[in-house]
Amino acid sequence: MSLVKSFLSHLQQRSLTENTIKCYRNDMERFQKYLDCPLDEVTIVHIQNYLIELTSKYKPSTVQRKFAVLSTFFQWLKTSGQMPTSPIPRWQRNKDRGFCMPKKHKTLRFEISDNDTNRLINVISKSSSVLEARDKAMIALMAYCGVRGTELHHADVGDIGDAINNKMVIRRPKRLTGVAREVTIDISKAASHLERYLILRDIENLTKTGVTMDYDAPMFVNKHGTRLSARSIRRLLVRHANAAGIGRLNPQQLVHSFVLREIRSGTGLDELQERLGHFSSSTTKLYVTSQFKPAMSSLDELSIGCVCET
């Protein structure tokens, strides 16, 4: 088995998603095509020259992601004893001792207005279709409650708490430790849409199977009755946004707009940080920052501090 296949097998054992593993595979295959030597003979010079090539073609965020894949791969080779040392030292971000990555420009996506949000929901047909009621409920949860697309994907019917208090439990992975944690949020602004969807779906389920929905059943399902994927949620949102004349839209933009509205209404940053699951408070503070440092995308961002042998 090749080193890359063994590495991908290791990632599967860590329960990474198929999309994540696919990205790792594509990045490693591209790096192999660039190389003129086996993977276990790669040096820091190869890494530096490869980064220069990437920086001339991709955005800083893409370069950083591809570099992170290489760093993880070579660290795995070292840990598994297949390579004595990693060609990517831990000081790769230190300009004085090697090279630094191009800086990624942190910006906020454009805010979706309340009128656009209403258009987005109203553009969906008002028929008694379960799927259309589902789409309205999902968009309302994202726009009015700040629920992410991945959180909708993992939600179960039993996550809805007391109907009177309009509470819902969402699950977010804990960074670094990988331990999931639960956060209870207020869904009063989306309750009517969610209630209508669940009633229609319960009726449909009762008609087909003779029993009501189980609490462990996925909250949002596709036409086949299986859990709706995060990718499908994004595609549905794009379709409805185009129909409403808003243009290309993704779940994160709805969440960003929700956070900005919450800040203007006086919600504290600590509360928002906990709600959004941000690892660093500086990420949450971006929402109240009005000015950003201009983004840089030239080759000058990649400083090479070593002399490459020819």
CA-nearest of 227, 226, 197, 202 to 214 is 202
Per-residue model confidence (pLDDT) at position 166: 72
Task: Tell me the CATH number at 167.
Answer: 1.10.443.10
Q: Could you tell me the CA-to-CA distances from 197 to 130, 161, 171, 235 in Å, in that order?
A: 6, 16, 21, 19
The answer as to whether 134 is a domain residue is yes
Per-residue model confidence (pLDDT) at position 210: 81
Q: Which domain holds residue 265?
A: 114-288
Whether 284 and 143 map to the same domain: the answer is yes
CA quadruple 86, 92, 96, 98: dihedral sign: positive
The answer as to whether 304 is a domain residue is no
Per-residue model confidence (pLDDT) at position 61: 82
Total domains in the fold of the chain: 2
Low-confidence winner among 120-129, 143-152, 225-234 (lowest mean pLDDT): 120-129
Binned at pLDDT 50, 70 and 90, residue 138 comes out as very high
Whether 118 and 85 map to the same domain: the answer is no
How far apart CA 297 and CA 105 sit, in angstroms, is: 9
The answer as to whether 309 is a domain residue is no
Structure tokens at 224: 């086949």
pLDDT digits (tens, 9 = 90+) for 280-292: 777 777 776 633 3
Binned at pLDDT 50, 70 and 90, residue 107 comes out as low
Whether 152 and 28 map to the same domain: the answer is no
End residue of a domain, out of 49, 78, 105: 105
The answer as to whether 299 is a domain residue is no
Per-residue model confidence (pLDDT) at position 24: 92
Per-residue model confidence (pLDDT) at position 299: 33
pLDDT at 1 over 80: no
How far apart CA 28 and CA 35 sit, in angstroms, is: 11
End residue of a domain, out of 105, 123, 156: 105
Per-residue model confidence (pLDDT) at position 172: 61
Whether 93 and 140 map to the same domain: the answer is no
Whether 268 and 218 map to the same domain: the answer is yes
Q: Tell me, what DSSP letter sits at residue 221? A: B
More confident residue, 296 or 120: 120
Whether 87 and 131 map to the same domain: the answer is no
Whether 99 and 118 map to the same domain: the answer is no
pLDDT digits (tens, 9 = 90+) for 29-75: 999 999 888 888 888 888 888 888 888 888 888 888 898 899 899 98
Whether 61 and 198 map to the same domain: the answer is no
pLDDT at 17 over 90: no
The answer as to whether 307 is a domain residue is no
The answer as to whether 51 is a domain residue is yes
Per-residue model confidence (pLDDT) at position 284: 78
Q: Tell me what the pLDDT averaged over the chain comes to.
A: 78
Q: Are the beta carbons of 171 and 178 closer than 8 angstroms?
A: no
Share of the chain above pLDDT 90, in %: 15
Per-residue model confidence (pLDDT) at position 288: 65
Structure tokens at 125: 């047909």
Return the half-sphere exposure (C-beta side, CA atoms, 13 A cut-off) of residue 297: 10
Per-residue model confidence (pLDDT) at position 162: 52
Whether 124 and 97 map to the same domain: the answer is no
The answer as to whether 300 is a domain residue is no
* Strand, helix or coil for residue 42: coil
pLDDT digits (tens, 9 = 90+) for 153-164: 888 888 876 544
pLDDT digits (tens, 9 = 90+) for 253-269: 888 888 888 888 888 88
Whether 101 and 119 map to the same domain: the answer is no
pLDDT digits (tens, 9 = 90+) for 218-266: 999 998 889 999 899 999 999 999 988 888 788 888 888 888 888 888 8
Whether 99 and 120 map to the same domain: the answer is no
Binned at pLDDT 50, 70 and 90, residue 139 comes out as very high
How far apart CA 157 and CA 285 sit, in angstroms, is: 33
pLDDT digits (tens, 9 = 90+) for 39-49: 888 888 888 88
Whether 92 and 167 map to the same domain: the answer is no
CA quadruple 267, 268, 269, 273: dihedral sign: negative
The answer as to whether 74 is a domain residue is yes
Q: Which residue has the tokens 């439990």?
A: 169
Task: Tell me the CATH number at 52.
Answer: 1.10.150.130
